[in-house]
Chain A
Amino acid sequence: MDLDFTADEEGFRKECRTWLEANVPTDELPSGDTREGFKQHIEWENELFDAGWAAVSWPKQYGGREASLIEWLIFEEEYYRAGAPSRVTQNGIFLLAPTLFEFGTDEQKERILRPMARGDVTWGQAWSEPNAGSDLASLTSTARRVEGGWRLTGQKTWSTRAAFCDMAYGLFRTDPAQTRHRGLSYFMFPLRTKGVTVRGVDRLDGDEGFAEIFLEDVFVPDADIIGEVDQGWRVAMATTGSERGLTLRSPGRFMATASRLIDLYHRHRDRSDPVLRDRVIQAWMDAQAYRWFTFQTVTRMMQGESIGADSSMNKVFWSEMDVRTHETALALIGELLELDEGAESAVDQGQWMKGFQFALAGPIYAGTNEIQRNIIAERVLGLPRK
């Protein structure tokens, strides 16, 4: 066990920090989940990619730096420490790309990865349907075989930033004779084309971060299926593993939030309250716990182990920690918590209430925490499914 960073890792950290300190926009960008803010975030993504920071762990041929997982975690720590903008390319870089690396053809990787990482082509996920949420295998959208490809019909929902994105990916039934998780295929499809209607949906915090996607006989060529036809479930499950796991929410984000919380505590009007003090300490400790848990997990992965269902433990931990941390911040702010973003008297520009509302989505998205706990109980503890 050696919990010191190597000289190379420290060097990498310094390089990250130097670049970020010189380049992170000094004024906070408007929310990336709004139409205007999205554009400004894409400009930032272009800049990140051109400097080689958009996807540090990727192979160099796709614009990455071939950084190790440890280095990727270091990059994330530095990224959030620097207060850099949220990543609107998230659904492409961290969710679709791992699937392409595992199941994609060379042609697909060549065509898709670089524009995805630069933000020139933006991606949203299209997993859920109105009647297929936690029970994803009950989805009803279909793909009909036609000359040279498929025609997609159906409705997807809760698609993050799909109102502004160019492309999306999701599952469609290619074999109507099959049910549940059999006979599904994994498609990439355009959002700005004939037959597609995208309707933005305002989230809890008021941003148009969600969208519904209506598809009517939308043509998709064979080249835009990932993996084999009818094997989409298996392909998709590989992605959900990374979504729940550390690639979606690395410790750097929560360490930065805990630091900001401590800063808020020091500015707080009444520091004598022992209950609030303890809650702030708890928030810092939990971020530490998540960090060391992650370094342990990543060491296992670097030794060639697969983490599998363990990623469900990550997801429950970080999502519930994030809610508690924001609740603590709001308790420190007191009655001023109701001042929204942009209000003159809002504490820290109202970011804590905004962040709290976003944190509340954590236990719901990427597989609800109820589903995660089922997975932990059944696949890690070995309890019977029924």
Chain B
Amino acid sequence: MRFAFTDDQQMLRDTVRDVLQRECAPEVVRAVWEGRPEAAASVWATLAETGVIGMTAPQDAGGMAMSELDWILPFEEIGYAALPGPLVETIAVGMPLLDAVGTDAQKTQWLEAAATGHAKIVVAFEDQAIVPYAASADVLIAERGGVAYCLPMSEVSAVPERSVDRARQLARITFEESEAHRMRSDVEGHALLSLAKERATLATAAQLVGLSRRMLDMAVQYAKDREQFGKPIGAQQAVKHRLANALIQQEFARPMVYRAGWSLATNQATAEVDVSLAKIYAGEAATFVVKQALQVHGAIGYTIECDLHMWMKRAWALAATRGDSAFHRERVGRHVL
């Protein structure tokens, strides 16, 4: 039993952290918010150059064939920076799925392009009509009637839907379910599609942990700086306890997320339940931290001028997507009771 990441995994995390600190300041997220998604294009390019975007692709497609345990910490950093874009869809879901159930033609067309940062993948699982980042993506992987399809976005109708988190660039998609775009849909293909869903959920949970950390950092900094009654508001016990509660929730969510990464990477029998636990704890911690961070900021936090709102809205969206708490509690319940 050893519950710790390897040095290599931590180094990769540090690389991502450094890139995002340099290139993904809140102004970048804000620019995407204001309708300029190209503002984040250079971040994607740098992450591709450093191998982060291609990390899950097979080596012959320019990737590093890395596992869930390798991308958990990078996704936490992506959440911390609130970097917009279909990162979960491309890295955690799209490339491994393409590699596993794509036709030779689909792989040739998209895998290396995605791994090198030249093609962005978006994903629509069964019953999912609203797709984030559809407008700036190149290829769609969609599940319809238990069958997976892979097709260029040029053949997909994507009607923008306004999102509370503007940076998510939602769109309602429709496309023709043609034979030509089918991916493998035998029994094994079906299992791999299920695995892809678990990965999407887990990567989302990891981002939620990062979002929580950032919001808490912002709130702590604000509580140290903001003075009332002649002293920092963070010296008041009521404020301290609020932030302590936020930290506790966040810190108890983290090992759940890490553990689910190990379970998926090592194909444990409990992997699905473990992913559910990760999503429940990470989602509930993030929505709890949202409230604490907002309250500590006071009125300034209740404005669009303050950066906090971009993290709050991302947290709301991600806590509800890929299965909300109710969905995952039901899954855990069936296992436990």
Contacts and interface: CB of A to CB of B under 8 A. Distances in A.
Contacts of A296: 3-4, 254-255, 258
B334 to A, nearest CB: 10
A382 to B, nearest CB: 7
A383 B220 contact: yes
Interface stretch (A33-41, A170-178, A275-283): A275-283
A383 B255 contact: no
Contact of A378 (B5, B240, B251, B261): B240
Contacts of A374: 237, 240-241, 244
Contacts of A292: 3, 255-256, 258-259
Nearest to A383: B234
B271 to A, nearest CB: 12
Nearest to B280: A285
Contact of B258 (A1, A70, A285, A372): A1
Interface stretch (A4-12, A79-87, A344-352): A4-12
Contacts of B251: 293, 313
Interface in A342-386: 370, 372-374, 376-378, 380-386
Contact of A382 (B4, B5, B224, B332): B224
Interface string B54-95: 000000000000000100000000000000000000000000
A25 to B, nearest CB: 29
Interface class of chain B by DSSP: helix
B232 interface: yes
A377 B4 contact: no
A62 interface: no
Nearest to A320: B248
Given A296-B255, A373-B244, A2 B1 contact: yes
Nearest to A316: B248
A289 B281 contact: yes
Nearest to A286: B252
Given A285-B280, A289-B252, A378-B240, A1 B5 contact: yes
Interface string B140-176: 0000000000000000000000000000000000000
Interface residues of B, number: 44
Contacts of A381: 216, 220, 240, 243-244, 247
A284 B268 CA distance: 19
A266 B336 CA distance: 11
B333 A1 contact: no
B122 interface: no
A376 B249 CA distance: 12
A300 interface: yes
Contacts of B6: 1
B105 interface: no
A278 B280 CA distance: 13
A103 interface: no
Nearest to A378: B240
A303 interface: yes
Interface residues of A, number: 45
B118 interface: no
A262 B335 CA distance: 12
Contact of A373 (B2, B231, B241): B241
A385 B263 CA distance: 41
Which of B1, B4, B258, B333 gathers most chain A CB within 10 Å?
Answer: B1
Contacts of B231: 384, 386
Contacts of A386: 231, 235
Which of A5, A290, A295, A377 gathers most chain B CB within 10 Å?
Answer: A377
Contacts of B259: 3, 292
B214 to A, nearest CB: 14
A29 B237 CA distance: 43
A295 B277 contact: no
B248 A376 contact: yes
B245 A384 contact: no
Interface in B254-283: 254-256, 258-259, 261-263, 266, 277, 280-281
A94 interface: no
A385 B240 CA distance: 10
Nearest to B332: A281
B318 to A, nearest CB: 20
Contact of A281 (B232, B248, B281, B337): B337
Contact of B1 (A4, A278, A303): A4
B235 A383 contact: yes
B223 interface: yes
B69 A1 contact: yes
Interface string A14-29: 0000000000000000
Interface string B303-337: 00000000000000000000000000100110011
A7 to B, nearest CB: 12
Interface in B206-255: 216, 220, 223-224, 231-232, 234-235, 237, 239-241, 243-245, 247-248, 251-255
A97 to B, nearest CB: 24
A214 interface: no
Contacts of B280: 285
A264 to B, nearest CB: 12
Nearest to B265: A1
Contacts of A373: 240-241, 244-245
Interface in A181-206: none
A373 to B, nearest CB: 4
Interface of A: 1-6, 9, 70, 262, 265-266, 277-278, 280-281, 284-285, 288-290, 292-293, 295-296, 298-300, 303, 313, 316-317, 370, 372-374, 376-378, 380-386
Given A289-B281, A296-B3, A376-B247, 8 more contacts: A9-B1, A278-B333, A292-B3, A296-B254, A300-B4, A373-B245, A383-B239, A384-B232
Sorted nearest first, the 5 A-B pairs with minimum C-beta distance are A377-B240, A383-B234, A376-B244, A373-B244, A292-B255
Interface of B: 1-6, 69, 216, 220, 223-224, 231-232, 234-235, 237, 239-241, 243-245, 247-248, 251-256, 258-259, 261-263, 266, 277, 280-281, 329, 332-333, 336-337
10 contacts: A266-B337, A288-B256, A289-B256, A289-B281, A296-B4, A313-B251, A373-B245, A376-B244, A383-B232, A383-B240
